Amino acid sequence: MKRIGVFTSGGDAPGMNAAIRAVVRTGVAAGLEVVGIRSGYEGMIAGDLIPLGPRDVANTLQRGGTMLFTARSKEFLTPEGRAKAAANLRTAGVEGLVCIGGDGSYRGALKLMQEHDIPVVGAPGTIDNDLYGSDYTIGFDTAVNIALDAIDRIRDTAASHSRVFFIEVMGRHAGFIALEVGIAGGAEVIVLPEDPVDPSVCAEVIRDSSRKGKRSSIVVVAEGGYPGGAQGLAEAVKTRSGIEPKVTVLGHIQRGGSPTAMDRVLASRLGAAGVEALLAGKRGVAVGQINDEIALTPLEEAVQQRKDINRLKYKLAQVLAL
């Protein structure tokens, strides 16, 4: 193997640049040429490939977003689109790929390998932390800390005015961010897609908190935790209890910004591990970190297996909210 490609796909996540940097520098150190594919699968189809060396990725470790950009590609969902992408890779002499992205990115990489025999390795880049095969995904820790900073600020206002705030964090299908930030932010209620909440129960918890002498309450809601998200749940609770909650939707601020030290180190380890896996002849696998060790998981397993929240943490959150 003489030349490999690296690209980012799907939603951006803080730490993607650190992963790109690690792929480039690990590849060059091993005697490989590295090319970057801009705008994910869309750029692969368009032939938007650029050579990358150690200096090209200098001063990127601390930057959020992705220097290679990202996009969603409808054309890549078709066999014709994937064939065009594979032809461009072969023309450019690319013999292996490191794909940094989430579930959809993994599925695309797997299709490309199965249909066109191009070796691919996935690295988990998503703030949702929902990919099987790694304890943590690139960007998750940063997203949690950004959300936590916002919740700490909102709690100051909530306590000053004796109010109830419903705060929506990202997580359409997975509640990892909501659970982590809910514990760290001392939320009275945490609402997850994995454990649907009854608005009447939520209202009673808030009333009980008030009876215990709490001047304010924070309800952290994953965007997929209730129909209509935090706004939908707040309205349902108001209807049942007369409580007048305030709603804050944090949205895309959780994706941007400089990655935390944890995300920089994780991304660096996984980017390097992706190159090492290709050099070892591995294909169709995802690199991950499990119990602080690098682990390889077949891509098919990574996209088929569901990663559950930590149920012990969830139970702890309920105890600590007393």
Q: Given pLDDT bands bounded at 50, 70 and 90, which one contains residue 321?
A: confident
Domain span at residue 117 reads 3-139+259-304
Mean pLDDT score of the chain: 97
Q: In whole angstroms, give the CA distance from residue 106 to residue 129.
A: 14
Q: Write down the pLDDT at residue 129.
A: 98
Asked whether residue 213 falls in the same domain as residue 273, the answer is no
Asked whether residue 87 falls in the same domain as residue 161, the answer is no
Mean pLDDT of 207-220: 93
pTM of the predicted protein model? 0.96
Mean pLDDT of 226-235: 97
pLDDT tens across 136-145, in order?
999 999 999 9
> Binding residue per annotation — 56?
no
pLDDT tens across 265-301, in order?
999 999 999 999 999 999 999 999 999 999 999 999 9
Mean pLDDT of 195-209: 94
> Binding residue per annotation — 254?
yes
Residue 118 lies in a domain: yes
Residue 309 lies in a domain: no
Asked whether residue 131 falls in the same domain as residue 203, the answer is no
In the predicted model, is pLDDT for residue 322 greater than 90? Answer: no
CATH number at residue 144: 3.40.50.460
Asked whether residue 32 falls in the same domain as residue 72, the answer is yes
In the predicted model, is pLDDT for residue 28 greater than 90? Answer: yes
Q: Which of 238, 255, 272 marks a domain boundary?
A: 255
> Binding residue per annotation — 188?
yes
Q: Which of 255, 277, 295 marks a domain boundary?
A: 255
> Binding residue per annotation — 252?
yes
Question: Residue 53 contacts by C-beta under 8 Å, 6 or more apart in sequence?
Answer: 24, 28, 34
> Binding residue per annotation — 213?
no
Residue 318 lies in a domain: no
Asked whether residue 168 falls in the same domain as residue 132, the answer is no
CATH number at residue 103: 3.40.50.450
pLDDT tens across 58-99, in order?
999 999 999 999 998 999 999 999 999 999 999 999 999 999
> Binding residue per annotation — 15?
no
What is the number of structural domains in the chain? 2
> Binding residue per annotation — 308?
no
The residues that are catalytic are 128
Asked whether residue 155 falls in the same domain as residue 251, the answer is yes
Mean pLDDT of 258-265: 98
Asked whether residue 8 falls in the same domain as residue 122, the answer is yes
Q: Write down the pLDDT at residue 98.
A: 98
Asked whether residue 30 falls in the same domain as residue 73, the answer is yes
Q: Write down the pLDDT at residue 215.
A: 87
